[in-house]
Amino acid sequence: LAAKALTLVRPYDDPKIADAVIGRLGNFAPDATAAAMDLLTSRKSLANDLLDALASKKIDRSVLSAYYARQMTLLGDEKLNERIAKEWGQVRNGNEAMRDQIRKTVNAYRGAPLWAFDAGAGKMHFQKLCASCHLPENQNIEIAPKLQGTGAKGIEYAIENIIDPNAVIGKDYQARVIRTKDGQVITGLAQAESDSSISIRTATETIQVDKSDVEEFKVSENSFMPIGLLDTLDDRQRIELLKYLMSL
């Protein structure tokens, strides 16, 4: 019922709608949450209200997924895009070669007889390629987004994020790069920072570095997720992995 009601108010540009919806985001069922986010990212005024709520921590960052961040950039407002980059993270268009690879992979998946592909084998590929950072279940995930609900977002969403992980990057998942005075380079996600040290989470461990040992500390323009993960799989294995992800 809530999802249908949210769909019905889409034609109206009223700030009271944003206030009411944002105030209830944490209480909606999944279908209503999706409808609410579709609504809040459909107009520039609503998107700005959503970013205000994000900046003031009225809503959890996890509500604003990469899909909805991209939706907001499609509104075509430069100032809004600057706010998205500041409050959420970067949204960029990939190069033509990547877009072509995304299209071909989507078409290959849609054209495959999925009954002939084993999601269990896909899970094994997942364990090999992805599980050091991603966990499919709702466990304590430190360096990658939760994957529960991937299937509901559609195959295009999954394939785009695998092939071109740098196209849409939440601030929490932009890689941090530390170069130490003795020549060591540490890349990972920022976990904590104090006056005297920085903690960086890599794919395997958390490393604490004294600031007195740091020569350079910067935020990378790239995601912590590497490009080319699917290149290590053959055609069948790719479909198996994607079938598994669509089951989450």
CATH of the domain at 107: 1.10.760
pLDDT of 29 > 50? The answer is: yes
143 band by pLDDT with thresholds 50, 70 and 90:
low
CB 43 within 8 A of CB 9: no
Q: Are residues 211 and 147 in the same domain?
A: no
Q: Are residues 28 and 116 in the same domain?
A: no
Q: Are residues 57 and 180 in the same domain?
A: no
- Judged by DSSP in three states, 180 sits in strand
CB 246 within 8 A of CB 150: yes
Q: What is the pLDDT of residue 138?
A: 47
From the list 84, 4, 85, 69, the residue with the least C-alpha distance to 37 is: 69
Q: Are residues 48 and 121 in the same domain?
A: no
The structural domain count of the chain equals 3
Q: Are residues 12 and 75 in the same domain?
A: yes
pLDDT of 109 > 50? The answer is: yes
Tokens read off for 40: 């809040």
Q: Are residues 158 and 240 in the same domain?
A: yes
Secondary element (H or E) of residue 57: none
Q: Are residues 121 and 241 in the same domain?
A: yes
Residue-range definition of the domain harbouring residue 218: 171-223
Q: What is the pLDDT of residue 187?
A: 80
Q: Are residues 75 and 135 in the same domain?
A: no
Q: What is the pLDDT of residue 169?
A: 76
Q: Are residues 66 and 107 in the same domain?
A: no
Distance CA 176, CA 179 (A): 10
Say which CATH number the domain at 180 has.
2.30.30.100
Distance CA 14, CA 56 (A): 21
| Whole-number Cα distances in Å, 137 to 13, 247, 248 | 38, 12, 9
Which tens digits make up the pLDDT trace of 175-227? 888 888 887 778 888 888 899 999 988 766 788 999 999 999 988 777 778 77
Q: Are residues 148 and 175 in the same domain?
A: no
